[in-house]
Amino acid sequence: MTTLATLEATICSTLGHDISFSGEPLGDPTPLPFATETDMLGNVSLRRRREFAWGRHHARVALRQLGVAPVPILPRSDGAPLWPSGVVGSISHSCCDCGAVAARVDNVLALGLDIEDDEPLGADLLPIICTPTETERAEWSSSRFGPKLILVIKEAVYKSYAPGTGAFLDFQDVCVRIKHESGSFEAEIVNSDKPMSFGSRIINGIYLPFRMGMMAVAARFRGA
Ligand SMILES: CC(C)(COP(=O)(O)OP(=O)(O)OC[C@H]1O[C@@H](n2cnc3c(N)ncnc32)[C@H](O)[C@@H]1OP(=O)(O)O)[C@@H](O)C(=O)NCCC(=O)NCCS
């Protein structure tokens, strides 16, 4: 089956834009972040230090593929990464994998990436993650991920949404339609109290299974 490291071409061809991706299983040795990033991170667990460092590593590889020199990527107060000027992107890590996407703002307004392992979603989480409409449709039934597909999509949607709006989205604020034929999704912000994302309540994207995991990329394109 496809590995995480080989997904970039699929991301670009499916989304039809130049989106840079870097990702692979968390490995050793852990890359060394910039000193300013390490200082900001402070005294955290070894696990957190490792996932943070790999996230920054993949973010810098994704930036390099766009022609952007390596720079520290510090977090905003809400935790979202502060990308260099002219770039948007997103970072994700699961227990075993890590990756980052980035793109130029001339084409792409916002990106959200989520990576999850293939551990099934606990039954108790189903009514928290999925809306009653999603549960009734059960569009995940042909996927080996089951309802966890909705989780990975919604977390990617949230990461594409929050930095631009400054607003929080609960899982029940968004309703997802899965299009299996194309491996894509359409997420609608169904809570009308929530601000739109760049003038739209619809956020589109793709989901990609890989060996031992699943990834979703949500994107808002300029002019779309
Ligand atoms: C922020 C959140 C989405 C992170 O997802 P996660 O699966 O727990 O963890 P991931 O490894 O995939 O992502 C963590 C990375 O997301 C990024 N991130 C954190 N907060 C973010 C935010 N507000 N906006 C965008 N990206 C954010 C960071 O890069 C972080 O990694 P880093 O701290 O090493 O830089 C999740 O913790 C959360 O708060 N979810 C609730 C909101 C939500 O998902 N709603 C769905 C409704 S549509």
Beta bridge partner(s), residue 188: 175, 202
Mean pLDDT calculated for residue range 21-49: 95
CA–CA separation, 51 and 57 (whole Å): 10
107-151 tens-digit pLDDT: 899 999 999 999 999 999 999 999 999 999 999 998 999 999 999
Ligand 1 proximal residues by C-beta, below 6 Å: 52, 55, 75, 78-81, 91-93, 114, 154-155, 157-159, 162-163, 169-171, 174
The yes-or-no verdict on residue 2 having pLDDT over 90 is no
For atom 28 of ligand 1, which residue has the closest CA?
A: 80
The yes-or-no verdict on residue 1 having pLDDT over 90 is no
Q: Domains of the chain (ranges plus CATH)?
A: 4-221 (3.90.470.20)
The yes-or-no verdict on residue 18 having pLDDT over 90 is no
Which of 47-56, 84-93, 129-138, 215-224 has the weakest average pLDDT? 215-224
Rounded to the nearest angstrom, the distance between the alpha carbon of 135 and the centre of ligand 1 is 24
**For tokens 């990033």, what's the residue?**
37
CA–CA separation, 151 and 121 (whole Å): 8
User: Residue 13 has what pLDDT?
Assistant: 83
Order across the sheet with 202-210: list the strands.
108-117, 213-221, 202-210, 184-189, 174-179
How many Cβ atoms sit within 10 Å of the Cβ of residue 190?
13
Mean pLDDT calculated for residue range 47-75: 97
Ligand 1 atom with the shortest distance to the CA of 51: 34
Confidence band of 60 (pLDDT split at 50, 70, 90): very high
Percent of the chain scored above 90 by pLDDT? 89
Compute the chain's Rg from CA coordinates: 17
Does 168 or 212 have the greater pLDDT score? 168
User: Residue 3 has what pLDDT?
Assistant: 87
What token pair was written down for 163? 């930095």
Question: Are the beta carbons of 66 and 103 closer than 8 angstroms?
Answer: yes
Question: Are the beta carbons of 189 and 180 closer than 8 angstroms?
Answer: no
Average pLDDT, the chain: 95
User: Residue 14 has what pLDDT?
Assistant: 85
CA–CA separation, 56 and 184 (whole Å): 27
The yes-or-no verdict on residue 11 having pLDDT over 90 is no
User: Residue 172 has what pLDDT?
Assistant: 98
**For tokens 């991920």, what's the residue?**
145
Buried b (16+ CB within 10 A) or exposed e, 138-167: ebbeebebbbbbbbbbbbbbbbbbbbbbeb
Concatenate the DSSP letters of all residues of 166-217 into one string. -----GGGEEEEEETTTTEEEEEE--TTSPPBTTBSEEEEEEEEETTEEEEE
